[in-house]
Homo-oligomer: A and B are copies of this chain.
Amino acid sequence: MMRTDSSRRAGESPNSASLWDTPMDIRQYLKEKKMLVDGWLSDCLPAPEQYSEKLFEAMRYSLLAGGKRLRPILMLATAELFSDGQDPLLKNFACAIECIHTYSLIHDDLPAMDDDDLRRGRPTCHIQFSEDIAILAGDALLTLAFELMSRPLSSERAPLQIRALNEIATRAGCLGMVGGQTADVISENGAGEEELVNFIHTRKTAALISAPIIAGAILAGATDRELRGMSEFGRRIGLAFQIIDDLLEIHSDAATLGKSVDSDLRNEKITYPGVFGEDKARSVAHKEVGEAFSYLGPYGDRASALAGIARFFLDRVN
């Protein structure tokens, strides 16, 4: 179930070596946190209104389609690193980051974008409903994310709350995820070069992996120095995660992956395996995770959940 070999990876610093071998049952951890987050997500949607019921139905359909909840779980695991993780703000922030992730999937799947029919084993939002409802459901989920994060709790927490919200907004916007997605759709059929593939995936994927990590750390009271380390940790596991996704896409069929596997190939997307070849891409993913782990070194065993999550996703292609 767990990886137990202790071979050293490139870029891994000595004091983080034990993170590869933590005795933590990460599958159980992921399962428990996913159940917690799924319950929160089910509660976070407002009650439908009479004339716009279909909007709420589409939001619910996509939000509760059974994702891995990786981003909320990363937020919770990071908050646990710096505090007891019992902050009532975490619930709304965890739901918010999943709303943003879900909106990005709905809009990416649209006919004018990747034109995908299948997502998480079910028809995509615009297939199940219609294109206009899918656009609006995405817009509504993005807006709901910010409504959730800005629910007033206490004056004392407001400064951290606004700062965490700002970090998420920055990473989700034109300098983050939306910018990466733009470069991705523009560059289709273009030359695949190293700088471009890094530009795209640092923004499109890694920005929204590091966002919940940074937000979780801010809410839990991390120092600026700690935040810089966690940001770098997030960026590196985010890149590794994207590379792994690209590799999985090559080797899976739709039934396994739950989405249309030929989408990237059909759209001639620039991918890491496409630019570097499969072997090099796999070793880059290992290297990024190894370097990411060096930022967890100072926390020792307390970081075993975060390390376990990173390793779990890396192991999917080993």
**Residues of A that sit less than 8 Å from B by CB:** 46, 49-52, 54-56, 59, 103, 107, 110, 112-113, 130-133, 135-136, 138-140, 142-144, 146-147, 150-152, 155, 158-159, 161-163, 165-166, 169-170, 172-175, 178-183, 185-187, 196, 199-200, 203
Contacts and interface: CB of A to CB of B under 8 A. Distances in A.
B50 A178 contact: no
Contacts of A187: 51
A135 to B, nearest CB: 6
A132 B178 CA distance: 11
A55 B182 contact: yes
Nearest to A174: B140
Total copies of this chain within the assembly: 2
Contacts of A165: 146, 150, 162, 165
A56 B174 CA distance: 8
Contacts of A199: 49-51
Residues of A contacting B: mostly:
helix
A103 B139 CA distance: 10
A112 B186 CA distance: 21
A152 B163 contact: yes
11 contacts: A51-B182, A52-B180, A52-B203, A107-B135, A107-B139, A136-B181, A139-B142, A144-B169, A150-B162, A155-B158, A158-B162
B132 A183 contact: no
A146 B185 CA distance: 24
